[in-house]
Amino acid sequence: MRALLVAAAAALALTAAAAAPAATRAACPAAWAQGWQKLANKVEAPVYCPTWMPNPLDAKFGGQYQDIYSIGKDRSFLVSFLEHGDVGSGDVHVNFRGYPESTKIPRCPGQVKQSPPIPCFSDPVATMKANGIKATVYQVNQGADQWHILLAWRYNRALYTVSEHVIPPYRFSSQVKRNLARLLNGLVLVRPQG
């Protein structure tokens, strides 16, 4: 199983390299831009707005697919979009995180009561380059990113991530791989204003 995941991660890196050209992602989509700009202003740091989301999701704050909107005292944030599929079809779930002023992988509670904290993202299997970003692909993640494949990268003294849930009918070696490559290639940096 591990060999299969490593092979899939290598294929993921190749897919990202062949993703669509950057010219099509000039700005955050108009229907989503206001929410992403408000987030950047609130955390006083750049955030990454997607220009594409897996079907049927959108990235509209306050829209029907928004699941989690959380900002910590340290200005770290988690924004999540989720659609529960019909019976047996699984979920489509994408998370975006940012950790302004920190490039360290955060710690999450251990799996067993009273066990020490563990890295929230672990088991890196590949890197992916697209859109001027070099992301590390993590396959073992905790909290809201559990059962997700996660991409993490650093920009301007901050750590950013995007992840997607791996659940049938989506598999890491096919649809989730393509989705993450397309998400990474289409990210647009939104800077705080005022």
DSSP assignments along 35-57, one per residue: HHHHHHHHHTS-EEE-S--STT-
Q: Using DSSP, how many helices (H) and how many strands (E) does the chain show?
A: 3, 11
pLDDT tens for residues 67-101? 999 999 999 999 999 998 765 556 889 999 999 98
pLDDT at 7 exceeding the cut of 60: no
How many domains does the chain contain in total?
Answer: 1
Mean pLDDT of 132-148: 94
- At 148, the pLDDT band (50, 70, 90 cuts) reads very high
Question: pTM for the complete prediction?
Answer: 0.85
Convert 142-158 into a string of H (helix), E (strand) and C (coil). Answer: CHHHCCEEEEEEEECCE
How many Cα atoms are found within 13 Å in the side-chain-facing hemisphere of 100?
20
Count of Cβ atoms closer than 10 Å to residue 20 Cβ? 14
pLDDT of residue 114: 75
pLDDT at 170 exceeding the cut of 90: no
pLDDT of residue 13: 47
β pairing state of 47-49 and 66-71: unpaired
pLDDT at 2 exceeding the cut of 60: no
- 56 is in which domain, residue-wise? 2-190
pLDDT tens for residues 182-193? 999 999 999 999
Q: Which residue has the tokens 């770290």?
A: 76
